[in-house]
Amino acid sequence: MEKSKLEPKDAALLRPIEKTTGKFWAFIGILFAIWAFGMYGWFNQLGRGLDVTGLNVPVYWGVYITNFVFFIGISHAGTLISAILRLSHAEWRRPITRAAEVITVLVLFFGVGCVLLDLGRPDRALNVLMHPNFRSPLLWDVTSISVYLTASTIYLFLPLIPDIAILRDHYPGRRWFYRLLALGWTGTERQKHILETLIATMAVLVIPIAVSVHTVVSWVFAMTVQPMWHSTIFGPYFVVGAIFSGIAAIIIAMAVIRRVYHLENYLKPIHFNNLGILLLVMALLWFYFTFAEFLTTFYGSDPSHMAIFMSKVGGEFSWYFWIMVVACFIVPLVLLGNGRTRGAVWGTVAASVSVEIGMWLERFLIVVPSLSRPRLPLESVAYSPSWVEWSLLAGFIAMFIFLYAVFTKLFPIISIWEIQEGREHAVVHVTQRVKSYLDTASAPLEPAASGSSD
Amino acid sequence: MARWAMVVDLDRCTACQACVVACQVENNVSPMGVEESDKGRAISWLRLVAFHEGEHGTRPGLRFVPLPCMHCDNPPCTKVCPVQATQIDREGLVAQVYPRCIGCRYCTTACPYTVRQFNWKPPEWPEPMQTGLSPDVSIRPKGVVEKCTFCHHRLQRARDEARAERRELQEGDYLPACVETCPAGALAFGDLDDPRSEVSRLGESPRAFRLMEELGTEPKVIYLSKGEWGGEI
């Protein structure tokens, strides 16, 4: 059996797996403490039920549902962006696809977890499978998220196979684990062909699935007749918001990996710059959708809609609203619109952190204000989330980071074989592709130029 | 098949809230106490809503409207339930299946009338009330949604009695507790599919209207009010 090759200069990509520093363990310890705090909150809630939350009548949904929409949004980071970059033959994708895909798979579990947390009777969650009502948008959610989770797990796993084979051949100690997962990969031409076909097929499949997932999440709200939920643009609005917060999550993850594992040779400022441009485009799209949504509501001035509109723009939610506008639009516009701050890694990362905060507020502002102003007058109490709700958000984030860190210790977080493939073939491919764009008089086509149609 | 409906005559209603109390007792609705009320979590299947009237200087005042579940013919709540724990039955009653409800509260958020209630904690009653619970109505556990049933246990009882007496169910055999209690005679109840029933007759009145008809929910609670309806709905 041919030993899977690893070029010496790529040894840095395996270092996180080989060496674990004391700092790493300390970090895991901190994550564990936060997670334990979340668990404490959860046990509290299991014992006393949703009584421990700050929810009430009519604000039946709060931070848990906000987190659900937020996490499912983040999940659009990986699979969707990676699939689009793969299909468009964007060569700069190579070091970032895996780091992105892992986010999707992991964060989806937490999205689903948020819904389970929100149930008054989590012990009966399986009723969703035993007595499904397919007229309910929540059932559409269950369906599309399950499909998405399956597809994005396969999509993460396929490009991992050749790298797992490298690990299998390098670490006899963990051999059984990697041999099991490598599925007998030896790197033959036939295997490569099958793998490439499968990856390409999955890349095409996951795009509509990913779009459907966040569309359906928006429909949970839009299908009701509640003011400022019942909107036809909610589907695309949510998808745009999801990709927006997703790209920001990739950028943050990349910056951390780059810093902690010293991967500056692979994750270069140009990658941050390119993702920064994508983030800027999404910021503009997000603003466009938000503006369109609010202007239509304002101009129509239906009283039940205006009550909610005013609570956001000038009422008790106005602080959140204006912070959201600054965090989701002004900050990215300034930091990413300027080539110098965008090109510097810190500028793109700062914009991404701002976007994450803004997008969480955006989700909160969709869920809570519409509920807090029912059409019929009701003596209601303002919703303020309890410590349990915050502890579970903190616990989920800590657990997500923990699992992500564990992944980097088991598998290369940058795809080794794809980096090698890029090094060997990318320049030739791109040259041929560019030549194929040119008029034939100035640059005669080489017969080998084929395959790329973009 | 009957189609049960309620008529609320706002011109007769004195806002005494006897219906609210009767409902609470009849249906074993726990009086959650001041603390829960302050949190905005008191449960009431039938509540009195205060509408402000004549805001622009004409004749300012409050108008009270008893608000049970509307038992819509096209209920927004039943559609969205992921586990079919709330359904509209053949006689138009919107029912809640407590043992199946997973407590996701999608129905409570989808209902434009905010008449669905959630059990934030297990129900409890002060000592003297514990022996007075109705044996006909099941007690809802923590974590599920509950709502006005138009006292459908009374329908079951009325039907059993009619069967025992070998006769058809008659108008007036089945009345929810609120209707039976109302001292002002402001509430009527009956079969909307029977053109001779009191509710059908009152429903034809020029005073008749329903709440948020424009949403297409087709409520089966009909309100009667003289003159211009002041509430902004």
- Tell me which of 1.10.287.1080, 3.40.50.2300, 3.40.50.720, 3.30.70.20 is the CATH number of domain B4-224: 3.30.70.20
Which of B108, B120, B147, B211 has the highest number of chain A CBs within 10 A, making it the mutation to test binding with A?
B120
How many structural domains compose chain A?
Answer: 2
CA closest to B52 among chain A residues: A377
Q: Do A60 and B81 touch (CB under 8 A)?
A: no
Same domain, A350 and A435: no
Same domain, A330 and A449: no
**Residue-by-residue DSSP string for chain B:** ---EEEEEETTT-----HHHHHHHHHTT-----HHHHHTT----SSEEEEEEE--SSSS-EEEEEEE-----SS-HHHHH-TT--EEE-TTS-EEE-TTT-----HHHHH-TT---EE-SS-----GGGGGG--TTSPPPPTT-EE----SHHHHHHHHHHHHHTTS---TTS---HHHHH-TT--EEEEETTSTTSHHHHHHTSTTEE-TTGGGT---SEEEE-SSS--S--
Contacts of B143 in chain A (CB under 8 A): 49-50, 119-121
Distance CA B6, CA B66 (A): 11
Q: Closest partner residue to B49 among A57, A61, A377, by Cβ? A: A377
CA closest to A51 among chain B residues: B120
Same domain, A297 and A334: yes
Instruction: Provide the number of CB pairs (under 8 Å) joining chain A to chain B.
Output: 139
Q: Specify if A262 maps to a domain.
A: yes
The shortest C-alpha distance from B105 to chain A (Å) reads 7
Same domain, A71 and A106: yes
Same domain, A185 and A257: yes
Same domain, A149 and A46: yes
Strand duo B4-9 + B221-224: pairing: parallel
Q: Which of A91, A69, A90, A228 is nearest to A145 (CA)?
A: A69
Q: Specify if A422 maps to a domain.
A: no
Q: Do A127 and B118 touch (CB under 8 A)?
A: no
pLDDT in tens for each of the 454 residues of chain A? 344 567 777 777 888 887 888 888 999 999 999 999 999 999 999 999 999 999 998 999 999 999 999 999 999 878 888 899 888 888 888 889 999 999 999 999 999 999 999 999 999 999 999 999 999 999 999 999 999 999 999 999 999 998 888 888 887 777 778 878 878 888 888 888 999 899 999 999 999 999 999 999 999 999 999 999 999 999 999 999 999 999 999 999 999 999 988 888 888 899 999 999 999 999 999 999 999 999 999 999 888 899 999 999 999 999 999 999 999 999 999 999 988 888 888 999 999 999 999 999 999 999 999 999 888 878 778 899 999 999 999 999 999 999 999 999 888 899 888 888 888 888 888 888 888 888 776 655 555 544 444 4
Same domain, A279 and A342: yes
Q: Specify if A421 maps to a domain.
A: no
Q: Whose structure tokens read 């051999």?
A: A175
Q: Do A125 and B102 touch (CB under 8 A)?
A: yes
The shortest C-alpha distance from A333 to chain B (Å) reads 36
Q: Specify if A30 maps to a domain.
A: yes
Q: Closest partner residue to B40 among A57, A303, A375, by Cβ? A: A57
Contacts of A224 in chain B (CB under 8 A): 76, 80, 109-110
Q: Do A375 and B212 touch (CB under 8 A)?
A: yes
Q: Specify if A3 maps to a domain.
A: no
Cite the DSSP H helix spans in A228-327. Answer: 234-260, 269-300, 303-313, 318-325
CATH code: domain of residue A365: 1.20.1630.10
Q: Do B80 and A224 touch (CB under 8 A)?
A: yes
Same domain, A296 and A431: no
Same domain, A435 and A354: no
Q: Specify if A419 maps to a domain.
A: no
Q: Do A121 and B143 touch (CB under 8 A)?
A: yes
**Residue-by-residue DSSP string for A166-204:** HHHHH-GGGHHHHHHHHTT----HHHHHHHHHHHHHHHH
- Provide the residue ranges of all domains of chain B, joining segments of one domain with +: 4-224
> Which residues span the domain enclosing A194?
8-414
Which of A63, A223, A225 has the highest number of chain B CBs within 10 A, making it the mutation to test binding with B?
A225
